[in-house]
Structure 1
Amino acid sequence: MKAARRALPLLAVLLAIGAGACANETHTVPAMPRPDEPVEGFDAHSPGEARIGATPADVMRMLAEDGKPSPTEHALTPEERRKLAAAFGALTPLHRRVLRERLHSISFLDGMPNNALTSPADANEPHRLFHITFRAGILRENLSEFLTQKERQCFDTAGSSRSVSIEAGTMDAIVYVLLHEATHVVDGGLRLTPGSAFTKSAWSDRTLIAPAFRDPLLARVKFRREGEVLPIDRAEAVYAALQRTPFVSLYASSNWSDDLAEAVAWYHLTERLGQPYRIVIRDQGNQVFAYEPMKSPVVRNRFDALSKFYEEPG
């Protein structure tokens, strides 16, 4: 997504879940916050689902694509508000604590070119607050629909009878998307990725995979900055390469921030909420390949590093 590559002067952090067209993301790690400095007009006691507001002007400018209609604000229906409240209720203890202190606002847009975007509410504030912008259509999708649509657009199916699907159950997609974006807020506020054991086990730098897990085919996946749409006939080889890494998804292999966000989201969905997660390739409807990342020993070896998300305050 070209729009997501424009650098915003006021945004020190830009974290996104890719659009239907596998979008890339641009961000830098924020400075260490000073939590003892309150922000005027910010109510840390309001529930997350009550923090719906207008999308920041800088975000709206960034999402505008040349020659296409600009996204528009979406007013949530009562049913959509119920789904949003349930998604906030499904977060981990650490998510809830950090979002209570650092989630300035959220918004929903119709016509948004990507699925979600986490950005600083005001990059000049010493106590960093964040805004999350969501594509409103997510509220009408379940997890399998959302992820399958996103994954399929990484592959060109022209002239092939093959297809890729993500089997993740029928839970509302907003649960996964909020888990992913909330992890970016936690990461941005607490600086979990730079220098952490979780990161060092898999990364040499923010977008450079550690030598033990580098693969030339994974490096070409569309989720990466210089990636491309690959022929669907290469999909099995792509996922076979993924099986040799500690990454829980192709999207997780794009950079260390999304690696953490994907790991937390999928750990919580599968281990705590009991949802399935299978990557399946079919040819004329017949299964020819399947991979369950959460059963991989190399993926599971990193689970201990996620325990902080479940620690209750003493």
Structure 2
Amino acid sequence: MKCKSISHPFSFRFFAMQRKILFVLAQVLHIQSRMFLCRLFVLFILIFETFYSCKEEAGDPNPYADVLSSTPLSKIENYVGLESRDWSSRIYNLDKQALDYVNELNRVDGFTESPSPIKNIDTFKSILLDSLSSQTLQVRSLLENKLFRIYVCENLGGSAVTGIVRKEGKSIGGFVILDANTLNRNANDWISYKENSTFQKGNLRIRIRIEEEKQNTKANALRYILLHEFGHILSETENIGPSFFSAKRSYTNLEFYKEVWKSEKVSYLDDSLFTVRPRIRFYSGSLSLEDNWEKIYPVLLNTPFPTLYSAANADDFFADSFVSYVHVVLEKKPWELEILKNDKPIFKMGNGITTDSLEVQRKILEKILSQ
């Protein structure tokens, strides 16, 4: 999306108003000096232009601002008992407020799905509690302080969505809504499925390993998903990215995104190193892996994107960098991608979070996790 310029009709009305004001002032004050009038005219131009430029917010239009601002889920008054460290009290089946929130998001995105509560929440709750209890101390502390609620549902229209909670106009935490039906794979199968969802079925496929065999569980798949979604909450509460509540969002001069993202969906690398990136769409099956993998994965190694999913847009750049940092750097877990042809590897790569190109991002993430 591109920023809109000032429209011509407004400009004509603007200068007409200036002339009218000056004419009235000249009559009332009986100004005789043309030099003074000229100076006064210039002064009014500067004042009006400064006022208008302050009112005009920079960045791309944000279609979700009204949804986030209007939902009761964004208000801290709707959350009680947050002083408790018992995660069972923060896990909810889908209720009307959460349903209305998702329906509004789906309406903006053009999705037709409408979620519903799950029938057996206790089974899913048990897996979710395992995921939360397995976090390291640093991550668990952040989750306890900033993840206020987790909703569970079916037919969400995706794996998960996130929302932000505010107190007195300040973003202090958030909530996550999970689709239980889409989270029915173990960790390695789930992330491999997500990566392959970008590509058409053919002779090649992708396999990713993020857990050793004994740890390759549904709980650890859920843990990875939760950390990614929590990354969106951290981006807001730590002022890493532009606020999700702003009518327009700009990434200009934000340290985490410098020289990587021009806007939410446009990267500095699109016209040079990574020209295929704008065509990548997860869960679309739109690209041929056989025809494009050499333009994607070997190139990815030379970019500041730690994973392909982090290259989807600027917001996912932070969220997937966060989960990559926790998973690879903090917890020293595996992250290995292979492209297979007839079940034989023809290409291998790791997560790029440890590379020199992400040094700035690592320092920011380290600072957040050391709080």
Q: TM-score, normalised on structure 2?
A: 0.65
C-alpha deviation, 1:70, in angstroms: 3.4
Q: Which runs of 5+ in 2 are unaligned?
A: 1-61, 243-252
Aligned-pair Cα RMSD in Å: 3.5
Distance 2:84 2:273 in 1: 44
Question: Aligned with 2:348: secondary structure?
Answer: strand
What does residue 185 of structure 1 align with? 233
Q: Does 1:262 align with 2:320?
A: yes
CA contact (8 A) 2:273 2:299 kept: no
C-alpha deviation, 1:255, in angstroms: 2.1
What does residue 66 of structure 2 align with? 9
Q: Does 1:305 align with 2:347?
A: no
Match 1:45 to one of 68, 77, 83: 83
Relative to structure 1, the CA distance from residue 185 to residue 280 in structure 2 (aligned partners, 3 Å threshold; closer, same or farther) is same
CA contact (8 A) 2:305 2:352 kept: no
Match 1:82 to one of 106, 113, 126: 126
Q: Does 1:271 align with 2:314?
A: no
Amino acid aligned to 1:260: F
Distance 2:353 2:79 in 1: 46
Match 2:260 to one of 195, 202, 213: 202
CA contact (8 A) 2:204 2:340 kept: yes
Stretch moving more, 102-111 or 173-182: 102-111
Structure having the larger proportion of residues in helix: 2
Match 1:110 to one of 144, 154, 165: 154
Amino acid aligned to 1:220: R
Distance 1:215 1:139 in 2: 31
Amino acid aligned to 2:316: D
Counterparts of 1:287-302 in structure 2 under 5 Å? 287-294=345-352, 297-301=355-359, 302=361
What does residue 174 of structure 2 align with? 130
Relative to structure 1, the CA distance from residue 290 to residue 192 in structure 2 (aligned partners, 3 Å threshold; closer, same or farther) is same
Distance 1:43 1:295 in 2: 36
Amino acid aligned to 2:203: S
CA contact (8 A) 2:102 2:115 kept: yes
Amino acid aligned to 1:80: F
CA contact (8 A) 2:200 2:289 kept: yes
- Residue-by-residue CA offset, 1:6-60 (whole Å, 9 max, x unaligned): 75732259xxxxxxxxxxxxxxxxxxx9xxx963653321334421223413334
Question: Aligned with 1:39: secondary structure?
Answer: helix
Question: Aligned with 2:347: secondary structure?
Answer: strand
Amino acid aligned to 1:10: V
C-alpha deviation, 1:249, in angstroms: 1.2
Question: Aligned with 1:165: secondary structure?
Answer: strand
- Residue-by-residue CA offset, 1:128-186 (whole Å, 9 max, x unaligned): 452211111355322211111111121112xx321112222214211101111111111
Counterparts of 1:110-189 in structure 2 under 5 Å? 110-120=154-164, 126-128=169-171, 129-137=173-181, 139-157=183-201, 160-169=202-211, 170-171=216-217, 172-189=220-237
Stretch moving more, 92-101 or 231-240: 92-101
Relative to structure 1, the CA distance from residue 109 to residue 100 in structure 2 (aligned partners, 3 Å threshold; closer, same or farther) is same
| Identity across the alignment (%) | 19
What does residue 26 of structure 1 align with? none
CA contact (8 A) 1:49 1:84 kept: no
Choose between structure 1 and 2 for higher RCO, CA contacts under 8 A separated by at least 6 residues. 1
Relative to structure 1, the CA distance from residue 296 to residue 66 in structure 2 (aligned partners, 3 Å threshold; closer, same or farther) is closer
Amino acid aligned to 2:84: S
- How many residues align? The count is 282
Q: Does 1:218 align with 2:281?
A: no
**Which protein has the larger Cα radius of gyration, Structure 1 or Structure 2?**
2
Q: TM-score, normalised on structure 1?
A: 0.75
Amino acid aligned to 1:248: P
Q: Does 1:229 align with 2:272?
A: no
Relative to structure 1, the CA distance from residue 150 to residue 139 in structure 2 (aligned partners, 3 Å threshold; closer, same or farther) is closer
